[in-house]
Amino acid sequence: MKIESVANTTTSTNTNRISAHTHITGLGLNDQGMVDTTSKCGLIGQAKAREALGVVTDLVVSQQLAGRALLLVGGPGTGKTALAMAVAQELSQHQASKLPFCPMVASQVFSREVKKTEILMEHFRKAIALRIQEQKEVYEGEVIELNVEETEDPLGGYGRTISHVLLGLKTTKGTKTLKLDPTIHDSLTKEGVA
C-alpha cells in the first residue's frame, strides 16, 4: 500500500461572505438600462427581470414610485431574493447611507413561539435601521448612607409609599450621592445593603 502526501494549498484571497447573497453588488446594467455581460455584479441570467427592476429603481430614485411595495413572484430557486438584494444595492448607490436588506421567511412569521406582530416589528426596525439602545451608568464604591424618602400614598390610603432612595457612595475619587428610583429599594433590601 502506497501513501502519498497531498500538499496544502492556501489562497491569499480573504473571502468575507456572510450569507448566500453577499456577493451581489447590483443589477449589472449599463447606462441604457440593458444587461451588461461584462459587469461583475454577482448576478447571472434573468436579463428581462434585471432590466425591469432597473426601471423600478430609476422610478424609486426619481421619487415616482417611492413608498410603494414591490412583489417578486416565482418558484423556489428562481432568484427572487438575489434580485431583491440587487435592487437594494442599486438604491444604496444613490443614497448617502447603505439601504438595509432584510429578507423574511414565512416560517418565521407563522411561528408558535413568537407573535406575528413581534416578528414584523423586528423586521420593520431593521428596515428603517432603528437601533434601540439602553445606556447604563455603573457606580462602584462603598455604601455610606441609605435613606428612603417616603410620601403620602397617592391612592388616598393610610400608608406611605417610597418616592425615591438616596444612596451615598464613597469611591476613590470622593463621595457621591445618588437619587434612585423606588423600585431599587426592594433589590437593595434583598441584597442586605444597609
pLDDT at 10 (0 to 100): 58
pLDDT over 60 at 3, yes or no: yes
The 3-state DSSP class for residue 52 equals helix
In eight-state DSSP terms, residue 104 is -
Q: What is the pTM of this model?
A: 0.52
For 108-140, write each residue's pLDDT tens digit.
777 777 788 888 888 887 777 666 677 778 888
The Cα 11–Cα 179 span in angstroms is 59
For 40-75, write each residue's pLDDT tens digit.
888 888 889 889 999 988 888 888 877 777 888 888
CB atoms within 10 A of CB 102: 14
Lateral strand order in the sheet of 142-152 = 142-152, 160-171, 174-180
CA angle (176 as vertex; 175, 181 as ends), nearest 5? 150
